[in-house]
Amino acid sequence: MSRRRRRRIVLGSQYAVFVAVIVVLAATADWGSLHENFANVPVAKGLFPTIITVGLRNTVIYTLSGFTAGLAGGLLIALMRLSSVPPYRWLASAYIEIFRGLPAVLIFIFVGTGVPLAFPGSNIPGGVYGSAALALGLISAAYMAETIRAGIQAVPKGQMEAARSLGMSYGRAMVSIVIPQAFRIVIPPLTNELVLLVKDSSLALFIGISLEQRDLAKFGQDLAGEKANSTPIIMAGLCYLIVTIPLGYLARRLETRQRRAQR
Amino acid sequence: MIELRDLHKSFGTLEVLRGVSLDVAQGEVVCVIGPSGSGKSTLLRCVNLLEEPTNGTVTVAGAELTDPDVDIDAARRRIGMVFQQFNLFPHLTALDNVAIAQRKVLKRGREEAARTARDNLERVGLADKVDSYPAQLSGGQQQRVAIARSLAMDPAVMLFDEPTSALDPELVGDVLGVMRKLALDGMTMLVVTHEMSFAREVADRVVFMDGGVLVESGPPAQVIGAPREARTRTFLSRILDPARTPAPE
């Protein structure tokens, strides 16, 4: 058999399988029921405006507060990781290993259930919002610490030397010279981290949230049950994608731009 | 102004400085020459303690930097350092590069720091580049900003670590011109360089280093013009006329 003929047969059969699967699916699917269940226009319309004013709003709040907490914690752990005092380095490494190795759900359960059980009567400041920020911050700090450490180490050694030669202390040189440059380097990977946080914020439901504190995922779940219809879940998914796809695109663009600038 | 006494510096088992003593008087310009790997850059980096000497003492402007009780940040304020790779801060404009240490270290106000920065950029011939970022400047311009950055701190001495080695040949002249002016103004300068014509013309004294020790020291006319030591002669014949260097056996 000639090579050309073999290729024609292989490609041809692959297309044939594809078309066959589509035809079978289209013929057997109950279009009316699918439409009714997943793309029900009256149900979708009924979700507005609360899907935005409650669901999306809370998702954004959980994400941004968690990101801020994670950034602060991540910077601190990154600096500890680079410290010349060994116990700080060990502590930072242990933190990173532990929180990257645990499932995010467990952290949320711990913050939502474990902490109140262990310290009855005490409250995490900010209530549910504070707890969500804490849980997301604990998780993302571990990932961001590694990113920020790599960013700090990517700043050329000469920058620190020049700053020290001008009489700056190590801390001053870090704050004024090295960290501003490191942040420029880590903006693209931190944007990717933000995308992960948007999705992980859905775990807030493990803290035990009220109606007004529902994020997109919980909102979708509740409304699907209420209306006995899957459309709210699809709509919640669309809301996530409206945020995550542009963010992911932005992260990739920043990355290519930076790679070009480095040449 | 600078007193180096019996400096030793080892990196692991490699001994880069093997007992160097050198004095630089106030207003004196001393050029250090020597083959690569001779320890001349390490010597310079020991003067402001970017490298900590394994042994020996460094005294600059009356402060002994090798004394563990001395405030190294305060001592470094009086010592300007110019690097081969410029090491400008890429996230700051030329003006802010010159102003930032004045503000954060000398605690000068925003206006005063900006004024001093402008004066010093003008002094190195870059009055029109105050708002440019390092990436927008040529190598020669970047190195002159780096010189202005050090001068703005009112240093007692200036150290230059091969300041023109990373420059395209046509840009070397501008930087050497600024350094020549600085020498005429009476600045105390310790310069590691391969620019023999600059050393001959500007230096009060030339020091030849090889293998981690000072081999020969004296006025440029003697060290470059009529070297006593065989090692100095070999080095100079290589650097002054590379084409006639005999092939290695």
Write out pLDDT tens, residues B51-86.
999 999 999 999 999 999 999 999 999 999 999 999
Residue B246 pLDDT > 70, yes or no?
Answer: no
> Side-chain half-sphere of B217: how many Cα atoms within 13 Å?
14
Task: Check whether residue A21 and residue A106 sit in a common domain.
Answer: no
Q: Which amino acid is at B193?
A: T
With contacts defined as CB-CB under 8 Å, which chain B residues touch A176?
Answer: 100, 104
Question: Cβ of A158 under 8 Å from any chain B Cβ?
Answer: yes
Kind and range of the H or E element at B228?
Answer: none
Task: Check whether residue A24 and residue A87 sit in a common domain.
Answer: no
For position A53, which CATH number holds? 1.10.3720.10
* pLDDT, average across residues B217-245: 86
Report which of B55, B64, B73 is spatially closest to residue B17, judged by C-alpha positions.
Answer: B55
Confidence of residue A256 (pLDDT cuts 50, 70, 90): confident
User: Would you state the pLDDT for residue A263?
Assistant: 46
With contacts defined as CB-CB under 8 Å, which chain A residues touch B76?
Answer: 164-167
Residue B38 pLDDT > 60, yes or no?
Answer: yes
A169 and B73 within 8 Å at the Cβ level: the answer is: yes
Question: Domain containing A8: what range?
Answer: 1-32
Q: What is the pLDDT of residues A148-192, one digit of tens each?
A: 999 999 999 999 999 999 999 999 999 999 999 998 899 999 999
Kind and range of the H or E element at B69?
Answer: none
Token pair of A152, please?
């700090």
From the list B74, B79, B87, the residue facing A162 with the nearest CB is B87
Confidence of residue B149 (pLDDT cuts 50, 70, 90): very high
ipTM over 0.85: yes
With contacts defined as CB-CB under 8 Å, which chain B residues touch A164?
Answer: 50, 73, 76
Angle among Cα B199, B143, B131 to the nearest 5 degrees reads 150
Task: Check whether residue A154 and residue A226 sit in a common domain.
Answer: yes
A168 and B83 within 8 Å at the Cβ level: the answer is: no
Residue A39 pLDDT > 50, yes or no?
Answer: yes
Q: Is A241 exposed, middle or buried (0-12, 13-18, 19+ CB in 10 A)?
A: exposed
Task: Check whether residue A45 and residue A83 sit in a common domain.
Answer: yes
Q: Is A82 exposed, middle or buried (0-12, 13-18, 19+ CB in 10 A)?
A: middle
Residue B4 CA from chain centroid, whole number: 15
Task: Check whether residue A22 and residue A117 sit in a common domain.
Answer: no
CA distances from B105 to A48, B32, B75, B102 (A): 56, 30, 12, 6
User: Would you state the pLDDT for residue B18?
Assistant: 94
In three-state secondary structure terms, B210 is strand
Task: Check whether residue A12 and residue A64 sit in a common domain.
Answer: no
| Strands, E assignment, B194-249 | 205-210, 213-218
Residue A19 pLDDT > 70, yes or no?
Answer: yes
Length of chain A: 263
Chain A: nearest CA to B146, how far in angstroms?
9
Task: Check whether residue A223 and residue A246 sit in a common domain.
Answer: yes
Task: Check whether residue A10 and residue A99 sit in a common domain.
Answer: no
Give the other-Cβ count within 10 Å of A249's Cβ: 11
From the list A166, A168, A180, the residue facing B91 with the nearest CB is A180
Question: Cβ of A120 under 8 Å from any chain B Cβ?
Answer: no
> Side-chain half-sphere of A247: how many Cα atoms within 13 Å?
20
Residue B243 pLDDT > 80, yes or no?
Answer: no
Name the closest residue on chain B to residue A161, using Cα atoms.
B50
Task: Check whether residue A2 and residue A114 sit in a common domain.
Answer: no
Task: Check whether residue A138 and residue A188 sit in a common domain.
Answer: yes
Task: Check whether residue A25 and residue A103 sit in a common domain.
Answer: no
Task: Check whether residue A23 and residue A64 sit in a common domain.
Answer: no
Report which of A198, A202, A234 is spatially closest to residue A216, judged by C-alpha positions.
Answer: A202
A158 and B50 within 8 Å at the Cβ level: the answer is: no
Mutate to test the interface with B, among A155, A159, A161, A166 (most CBs of B within 10 A): A166
The count of structural domains within chain A is 2
Confidence of residue B185 (pLDDT cuts 50, 70, 90): very high
Name the closest residue on chain A to residue B100, using Cα atoms.
A176
